[in-house]
Structure 1
């Protein structure tokens, strides 16, 4: 839904570089705040006889589609997996997160709910449904539907998911009971992470995919053969590759081995490039094996955006935040991340050997393709939603070239500027 603001209606960006495929191209871009879409500049000028209300000289900066995070557990002190006393209170927390995410360049995302009880899913999932029909620009980031990470996962690969809430789905009725019938029929859920080897989950993958839900293999002890069987059933994604799964072994490559399958069978895969979850070389190996399937995610917790310190978590334990690193108190067990998506892009670009455009694609075009939103999100083609990030670039003595989020536009309306915050 386009923004309420209609002045200026037509904005033309000039003296900029656009992300086009795997390259950056010197080209102007026209957007319309009334329709919330990107315009075809020649058609707008010559056929529709439109002229820009505003022309913005970007001084050579990069124009990229708005970033998409398909695995985000919360931010700014708000946890998607913790119901509030009232729905209004929960929804107010969501609005705070949406505005905060927009300031980091994330314009769309999948709010992620970790393994929980049926009561929790029934309470929170309706609020996490896609908001495209009601969303306005000034709301900030837009939900594309919920990501239910668990509770049908391996007890031996649960990470920090609460072991007492983990379940095994023998019949599809078990999924309906846990998530709620309406949540699986009306599709507040866009993606489910589950272990295909647990219970009878393998048999339920086709029914989930038939309902338009992406099945992602994760928190799993699957062998290579079981993982391959899951892709034959319809699995299309791997949740945070390498983390919370059977390690690669030369005689049984496990889930990672799926990246060596034929093009038709290779799934998309999430990578947490925060410098904590994975060694840079592991990221480079995965990317070189299947560059077109790489989706950068933050797996960020509610502590993202908060100061360093020790915080209570939902299972009664406590989490230590030190920069982007989150660990369970008294251990070295990783407890998610607090990195931003642009930080992951910068790390990934430095470690993987990907070009700037290719690194940006991993948070724009590739997740859009995974979600079935090609031509709508993650694109600068005419007709796509005018969700944009204007990226600056500077040289750091240690990190080299670093991208910065200078402006954010949602549905053709500027909602954030580093010089003057709008959201």
Structure 2
């Protein structure tokens, strides 16, 4: 198994230009892999205009990185990560002071470990919990903002609150005892998440709710007016109810097909939104868990063909991601059994999230759908960035975008199955991970 080689801190000298040039590489641009150089700045953490730097400013690169023909992609973005490496974003110790300290350390551990998988930005996700958990955790999970320290690892783009305003009949592994209804008032959301956490700038980027619940529709415009995006999920919504939710401001569907009313030929339910004419509504983005457990590969291909510009690959990974197989305690007194990427609740065998890495989801998607490499990578770069309103900043290789980069090697076995391998990761123009020699 490849070893991880930590990159030592390398502060920029005062006389350093910080200009780095990647050469002999394939850049992911639009729907093509383009043989082209890329220039970045480790001083600003941004992507540069190479021609302007070289010819207008006559600045030679301080460092030239030859990638040997490998793929240079924007850093990967995971919009649904419940935890990893033994840490759960939804668990806080009872002692408030000690709990807050341990929580901060746990978030830091995830950030530093996660970046080695190619995920440079993500939404830390909170499942359905009591208000005290949200109000303690959310201040630690907001967007990193002006903190542009590459040594901190992967960057939060804001929290994803998956609940507790969910349907009790589509709860999945969410404990029904903590589920709530909005009761036709934003005050119910304020009492749950904490009123300060719903004000701009909010630590919350995305809230998943069931729009058919009493009062849910009227809360959606209030949330979006504060810059919080709303996603449909864990829901019994009919097609008509889901369509009303999109018209009210919902712009995302959480893990499509899972924990929602199934497709029926007389009422396609939430999935039907992907086939609605664009003249009727703005088609929502939708999350897909391509781990081979949550969804059949053909279901993924159908969804992608229905709305290719909206597909966002997510892991829905739990704290057991990166941990050995076994039986583990989970929140609310339940236990989870881990067998490779498969996580199930011990008491009823229900699927309990995932433990797959995002880069492996991309490999699966590439093999199952027949997509091109740029199309597969777009589902974890450009599309989630656009969904979050971060186009031109994240998920692209445009001039002025953050220099969050992933060096990928695309391998193919005898059966023609392709697999992406993360060789290097750069955060804000600084290399933070390099894959070591094969052990």
TM-score, normalised on structure 2?
Answer: 0.93
CA contact (8 A) 1:227 1:255 kept: yes
Show CA shifts across 1:239-292 (max 9, x none): 000000000000000000000112352100000000000000000000000000
Q: Distance in 2 between matches of 1:75 and 1:344?
A: 16
Distance (whole Å) between structure 1 residues aligned to residue 328 and residue 45 of structure 2: 40
CA distance in 2, matches of 1:44, 1:205: 46
Matching residue of 2:305: 288
CA distance in 2, matches of 1:76, 1:242: 27
Matched with 1:129 is: 142
User: For this pair of structures, how many residues does the alignment match?
Assistant: 419
What residue in structure 1 maps to residue 240 of structure 2?
225
Measured against aligned partners, the alpha-carbon deviations of 1:113-151 in whole angstroms (never above 9, x if no partner) come to 000000000100000011121240010000000000000
The corresponding residue for 1:379 is: 396
- 2:364 corresponds in structure 1 to 347
CA distance in 2, matches of 1:18, 1:309: 40
Alignment of 1:189-268 (within 5 A): 189-263=204-278, 264-268=281-285
Aligned twin of 1:5: 11
Q: What RMSD in Å do the two structures reach over aligned CA positions?
A: 1.4
CA distance in 1, matches of 2:52, 2:416: 42
Measure, in 2, the Cα distance between the counterparts of 1:274 and 1:399. Answer: 19
Identify if the C-alpha distance between structure 1 residues 266 and 416 changes in structure 2 by more than 3 Å, giving closer, same or farther. same
Q: 2:196 aligns with which of 170, 182, 188?
A: 182
Query: Which residue matches 2:29?
Result: 20
| SS of residue in 2 equivalent to 1:11 | strand
Tell me the equivalent position of 1:42: 51
**2:166 and 2:33 mapped to 1: Cα distance?**
41
- Alignment partner, residue 396 of structure 1: 413
How far has the Cα of 1:30 moved from its partner? 0.5
Q: 1:169 aligns with which of 182, 199, 207?
A: 182
Superposition pairs of residues 53-72 of structure 1, within 5 angstroms: 53-72=62-81
1:330 deviation in Å?
4.2
Q: CA deviation at 1:187?
A: 0.5
In 1, the alpha carbon distance for the partners of 2:375 and 2:87 equals: 31
Counterpart among 378, 383, 400 of residue 361 in structure 1: 378
Aligned-pair distance for 1:22? Answer: 1.2
For 2:437 and 2:148, the matched residues in 1 are separated by: 23
The 1-side partners of 2:329 and 2:100 are apart by 22
Whole-Å Cα distance in 2 between the matches of residues 230 and 189 of structure 1?
19
The alpha-carbon deviation at position 4 of structure 1 amounts to 7.4
Within 2, Cα distance between the matches of 1:132 and 1:49?
32
Go from structure 1 to structure 2 and tell me whether the alpha carbon gap of 1:398 and 1:339 turns closer, same or farther (over 3 Å shift): farther
Alpha-carbon distance in structure 2 between the residues aligned to 1:94 and 1:253 = 39
Contact 1:5 1:33 in 2 (8 A): no
Per-residue deviation, residues 25-82 of structure 1 (Å, max 9, x unmatched): 1100011000000001101111122211111111110000000000000000000001
How far 1:398 moved relative to its partner? 4.4
Distance 1:330 1:181, change over 3 A: closer
Cα distance in 2, alignment partners of residues 400 and 76 from structure 1: 28
Distance 2:133 2:437 in 1: 38
1:74-113 matched pairs, under 5 angstroms: 74-84=83-93, 85-113=98-126
Contact 1:4 1:137 in 2 (8 A): no
TM-score between both structures, scaled by the size of structure 1 = 0.97
Quick one: distance in 1 between partners of 2:176 and 2:38?
50
Task: After TM superposition, give the deviation of residue 397 of structure 1 in Å.
Answer: 3.2
**SS where residue 331 of structure 2 aligns?**
coil
Query: C-alpha displacement at 1:395, in angstroms?
Result: 1.6
- Structure 1 residue 396, shift from structure 2 partner: 2.1
Q: Determine the C-alpha separation between the residues in 1 that align with 2:176 and 2:53.
A: 57
Aligned-partner Cα distance in 2 for 1:255–1:369:
21
Q: Is the 8 A contact 1:132 1:142 kept in 2?
A: no
What SS does structure 2 have at the residue aligned with 1:86? Answer: helix
Distance in 1 separating the partners of 2:89 and 2:148: 19
Q: Which runs of 5+ in 1 are unaligned?
A: none
1:32 is the counterpart of 2:41: yes
For structure 2, the 5+ residue unaligned runs are 1-8
